[in-house]
């Protein structure tokens, strides 16, 4: 999570009525993808990182790798292409594994690699539809679990508000979406370690053809600025990891939009 995000979130959590560690974390919204995001398959899973935001300003943000589950009706689809060119679509809201990343700005969605192999396909991706939301997995020691009315409000009117402010957040949202494709094209392991210069320089061209046109049209310029800045930082400073730098740029965009969303909904939401 970006340093400023951590500080701001910590200050906010200090205002909560009791120890936030005993409270269920915020429901997360996953921003629609306008197409299928390519998956990386390794260690028995096929996964990718997706852009997300926090929906409940009155609850704590999740810690890194908090377990979530898809809310009822979540439009999450595995889109696979066979060697013969045929397209296969498979609902995965009940088959996928969801882990928050760096707090609330991203979610790692994974499906079993065996599932993809069973389809006998050449490549696969996950498509996120409109108004998708994730619920934190309940913990036995939650002193402040989610009540049904809270969930209904988050998934209903507040998700609609979030769609208008965050999902449709113009160049800020599309820039984050584009950056997410760049992030996913770099090794997930060792995000804070340096990648080789050739990999960093080839990244933009490698990703360009995979980004949906709707995302690229508005988000390309912003993402390019962040990419060039991270590329320069990685070249000048041996301690800078390219993936981590892009993650910070992505998360900064989402933090900007999330604050706008929070100011538009009830603190009790």
- Residue 86: the pLDDT is 87
Phi and psi angles of residue 209, each rounded to the nearest 5 degrees, phi first: -80, -10
Beta strands in 22-159 (DSSP E): 28-30, 36-38, 40-42, 45-54, 67-70, 76-82, 87-91, 97-101, 106-112, 121-128, 132-136
Sheet architecture: strand order including 36-38: 36-38, 121-128, 76-82, 87-91
Instruction: Give yes or no for a contact between 234 and 245, defined as CB atoms under 8 angstroms apart.
Output: yes
Instruction: Give yes or no for a contact between 104 and 26, defined as CB atoms under 8 angstroms apart.
Output: yes
Q: What is the pTM of this model?
A: 0.88
- Residue 193: the pLDDT is 61
Phi and psi angles of residue 51, each rounded to the nearest 5 degrees, phi first: -75, 135
Nearest to 76 by CA among 116, 32, 15, 27: 32
For 201-267, what is the HEC assignment?
A: HHHHHHHHCCCCHHHHHHHHHHHHHHHHHHHHHHHHCCCCCHHHHHHHHHHHHHHHHHHHHHCCCCC
- Residue 266: the pLDDT is 66
- Angle separating helix axes 170-184 and 197-208, nearest 10 degrees: 120
Instruction: Give yes or no for a contact between 49 and 180, defined as CB atoms under 8 angstroms apart.
Output: yes
Going residue by residue through the chain (269 aa), what tens digit of pLDDT does each one get?
A: 343 444 344 334 333 444 455 789 999 999 999 999 999 999 999 999 999 999 998 899 999 999 999 999 999 999 998 888 889 999 999 999 999 999 999 999 999 999 999 998 888 999 999 999 999 998 877 888 999 999 999 999 999 999 999 999 999 999 999 999 999 999 877 555 678 889 999 999 999 999 999 999 999 999 999 999 999 999 998 788 899 999 999 999 999 999 999 999 965 54
- CB 141: neighbour CB atoms within 10 A? 6
Residues 6+ away with beta carbon under 8 Å from 251: 1, 2, 5, 102, 103, 105, 106
């Amino acid at each position: 999570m970006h340093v400023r995000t951590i500080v701001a979130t910590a200050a906010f959590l200090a205002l909560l009525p009791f120890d936030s560690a005993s409270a269920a974390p915020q429901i997360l919204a996953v921003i629609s993808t306008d197409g299928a995001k390519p998956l990386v398959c390794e260690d028995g899973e096929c996964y990718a990182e997706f852009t997300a935001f926090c929906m409940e300003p009155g609850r704590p943000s999740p810690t890194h790798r908090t377990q979530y589950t898809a809310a009822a009706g979540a439009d999450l689809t595995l889109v696979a292409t066979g060697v013969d060119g045929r397209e296969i679509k498979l609902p995965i809201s009940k088959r996928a594994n969801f882990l928050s990343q760096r707090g609330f700005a991203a979610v790692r969605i994974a499906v079993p690699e065996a599932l993809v192999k069973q389809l006998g396909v050449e490549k696969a991706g996950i498509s996120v539809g409109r108004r998708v939301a994730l619920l934190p997995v309940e913990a036995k020691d939650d002193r402040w679990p989610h009540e049904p009315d809270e969930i209904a409000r988050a998934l209903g009117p507040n998700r609609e508000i979030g769609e208008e402010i965050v999902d449709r957040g113009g160049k800020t949202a599309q820039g984050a979406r584009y950056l997410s494709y760049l992030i996913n094209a770099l090794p997930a392991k060792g995000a804070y370690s340096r990648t080789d210069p050739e990999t960093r320089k080839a990244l933009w061209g490698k990703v360009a053809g995979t980004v949906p046109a709707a995302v690229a049209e508005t988000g390309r310029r912003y993402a390019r600025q962040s990419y060039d800045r991270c590329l320069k930082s990685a070249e000048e400073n041996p301690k800078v990891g390219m993936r981590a730098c892009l993650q910070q740029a992505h998360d900064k965009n989402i933090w900007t939009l999330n604050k706008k969303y929070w100011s538009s909904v009830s603190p009790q939401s």
